[in-house]
Structure 1
Amino acid sequence: MTEFIPPATRFFELPSPFPMKRGGALRGGRVAYETWGVLGPARDNAVLILTGLSPDAHAAASAANPEPGWWEAMVGPGKPIDTTRWFVICVNSLGSCKGSSGPASINPETGEPWRLDFPPLSIEDIANAAFEAVRGLGIERLACVIGNSMGGMSALAYLLLHPGAARAHINISGAPRALPFSIAIRSLQREAIRLDPNWNQGRYDDARYPEAGMRMARKLGVITYRSALEWDGRFGRVRLDSDRRPGDDPFGMEFEVESYLEGHARRFVRRFDPNCYLYLSRSMDWFDLAEYAGGGQDEDAVMRGLARIRVERALAIGVHTDILFPLQQQEQIAEGLRAGGADARFLPLDSPQGHDAFLVDIARFGPAVQGFLDTL
């Protein structure tokens, strides 16, 4: 795929070698980031946004890049994350293909893409890379770290591994560990990519790209990002007009929902690198705060891991219709942080839009995020 980096994006060169949790080290690594607002003289008004699997660092428009960002309705002057008050930083995850070093990046020792020679990637590595970028901006302590989806995992790791690095935390549809259902879905997504002959053990190019595998992986993901309630409300059992049905395939698309998934998948496949998808997906499956509990793998161990995090205030937000990072995980985050001494609140929302609600249901998420930030 051809990499496109928005013009406002900047880069932070990671310490080299940069040690990775599961072994090995990254040399010549970097992370991409963007900023909005002005850092105050005391450097105490910084808010860090850590993203889900696929977004880049361009969360919102800016003078350097007026194109709308992936969280445009949330970040900007007078918006819930108000850039007239906050200095906002969004870091593209290590392992991505949106500017940060990952399997699609060039290995400086060989001059070729890293591909599967990229070191095994963990959520903790993503968190540590973001921490280095924030520290490189001269910020010793964030006002708040906000994490969405996978970014909610990264934010918990950030706070756990770097005590005192932030005063407050907003966890949005995140999780302290991967649950079996989520692991199963992501396993199928990775299998779809790896079984595509064009994947070729990670050695593909634009001419021979694992498009079928990526399409299937993306469709599986989109199905879990929304809820059955929304699928029913948006599409019902509406069938495609006859001129939109494939005439030579007796098992081809017949329903509007199938056409929607196909269009969504085709828009995604050439915009995200398959190997990066594999690495980031697996990093979520590996993440488990029980590892930091001093023994045990049960839910009590997860709670002990969460209780090791030191933050003054926290808000965990989730929605009832999220099947990928279900609501009980955000409740668990609030309870665990509270056990660690935080003033932590759990906010369940009734959005019908499932896991992706934080991207689209701004009417619910905006006031919740703004209300919390206004108290800091």
Structure 2
Amino acid sequence: MEHDARRYFSLPSPFAMKRGGELHGAHVAYETWGRLNDARDNAVLVLTGLSPSAHMASCEADPSPGWWEAMVGPGRAIDTSRWFVICVNSLGSDKGSTCPASVDPATGEPYRLSFPQLALEDVANAAHAAVGSLGIQQLACLIGCSMGGMSALAYMVLHPHSVRAHISVDTAPQAQPFAIAIRSLQREAIRLDPQWNDGNYDIHATTGGTYPDMGMSIARKLGVITYRSAMEWNGRFARIRLDPEQREDEPFGREFQVESYLEGHAQRFVRNFDPNSYLYLSRASDWFDIAEYGNGSVLEGLKRIHIEQAMVIGVSTDILFPLQQQEQIAEGLEAAGARVEFVALDSPQGHDAFLVDIEHYSPAIGGFLSRLAMT
């Protein structure tokens, strides 16, 4: 089995951005697993949520576990003994792709807020260019998770006939007010941190320095709260209090286990994702609307996507991308002529279910890809 760790694709220069401006000398990071067959028709592309890197699964060159480790590999749902699997890190993400923390070749300094406005269409176009560089004209399947699901819709509407089948995972055809409100608060937490300093913090500081730790911490906590469901919070933590020695010795300090859990998540995230990149990708998620391609109608926008078949998966406990939005995607793709399977799961984990509820997602995704291989 041939494996590659992180690789880089240089985007066409200049690379025009949807909302104006262009990038020069930009690139995206990606990883691949499995082999591309002689017909070049067994490629599966995965587009990620806001924060993951291209390291979706371990490989010989990088044996560390990937963010979807249990889903990808020989004999797993996304079977790398059958499929040539590609995961592209989003343009604008600091996990290897050109982003606000990257050096602007025109100035020799990091872009920071001079980075052009970012749209998920730009993410899609960059991924499409990377796929084309591998000699692939049509993907066997495009898988999009969370924000990556919106990027996937953009990919398919902007590049007709470049995708044969699609798996839509916990995503939406447009951001709803609740999701926009949450992301707006996350961005506000970062922007109101004095250490953010209008984007002029110490980009590469791992400790110390000027860095919006507090803003990033609050943003992450808000995110984690919405990624899971109230049902799961109740089941995991109830009202269990911390032991006295674990509590903060300050007014109104952490007292409950759930608060400590959120703090742990925040601390692992804070210096591991560039704040400006977070702001750009978060806003790009709010801006995306497939209805732009259908004269203001989500259904008409989706009808412009031409694929053979699709599976749309959602969970009833997802408050960020509710099941109703998965139904919209399924109806639209069906109206466009695709054979669509709709899978509604009752996982208690909420939006993050696709990352943790592998026992339910794996048979769905694996079954769809197995049937696709036989057609």
Q: 4+ runs of 1 displaced by more than 6 Å?
A: none
Equivalent residue for 2:360, pick from 356, 361, 364: 364
Residues 158-197 of structure 1: pairs in structure 2 closer than 5 A? 158-197=155-194
Q: Distance in 2 between matches of 1:157 and 1:175?
A: 11
> Helix, strand or coil: the match of 1:88?
strand
> Helix, strand or coil: the match of 1:370?
helix
Equivalent residue for 1:11, pick from 8, 20, 35: 8
Query: Match of 2:221?
Result: 219
Query: Match of 1:75?
Result: 72
> Helix, strand or coil: the match of 1:53?
coil
Q: CA deviation at 1:346?
A: 1.2
Q: Distance in 2 between matches of 1:78 and 1:358?
A: 19
Query: Match of 1:54?
Result: 51
Query: Match of 2:232?
Result: 230
Query: Match of 1:274?
Result: 275
Q: Distance in 2 between matches of 1:28 and 1:197?
A: 32
Aligned: 1:322 with 2:318: yes
Query: Match of 2:63?
Result: 66
Q: Distance in 2 between matches of 1:11 and 1:323?
A: 35
Structure 2 unaligned residues grouped into runs of 5+: none
Query: Match of 1:351?
Result: 347
The amino acid of 2:63's aligned partner reads: P
Relative to the length of structure 2, the TM-score reads 0.96
Residues 1-376 of structure 1: pairs in structure 2 closer than 5 A? 8-205=5-202, 206=205, 207-247=209-249, 249-294=250-295, 296=296, 301-376=297-372
Q: CA deviation at 1:36?
A: 0.1
Q: Distance in 2 between matches of 1:19 and 1:375?
A: 38
Q: CA deviation at 1:110?
A: 1.0
Q: Distance in 2 between matches of 1:106 and 1:10?
A: 19
Q: CA deviation at 1:111?
A: 1.1
RMSD: 0.7
Q: Distance in 1 between matches of 2:326 and 2:350?
A: 14
Q: Distance in 1 between matches of 2:9 and 2:83?
A: 21
The amino acid of 2:135's aligned partner reads: G
Write the deviation string for residues 4-33 of structure 1: whole angstroms up to 9, x where unpaired: xxx810000000000000001111110000
The amino acid of 2:220's aligned partner reads: R
Structure 1 unaligned residues grouped into runs of 5+: 1-6
Q: Distance in 2 between matches of 1:95 and 1:240?
A: 39
> Helix, strand or coil: the match of 1:168?
strand
Q: CA deviation at 1:273?
A: 0.3
Write the deviation string for residues 216-249 of structure 1: whole angstroms up to 9, x where unpaired: 00000000000000000000000000000012x1
Write the deviation string for residues 28-65 of structure 1: whole angstroms up to 9, x where unpaired: 11000000000000000000000000000000001111
Query: Match of 1:4?
Result: none
Q: Distance in 2 between matches of 1:155 and 1:252?
A: 42
Percent identity, please.
Answer: 70
Write the deviation string for residues 171-205 of structure 1: whole angstroms up to 9, x where unpaired: 00011000000000000000000000010110000
How many positions carry a matched residue from both structures?
Answer: 364
Q: Distance in 2 between matches of 1:75 and 1:106?
A: 33
Q: CA deviation at 1:345?
A: 1.8
Q: Distance in 2 between matches of 1:17 and 1:230?
A: 47
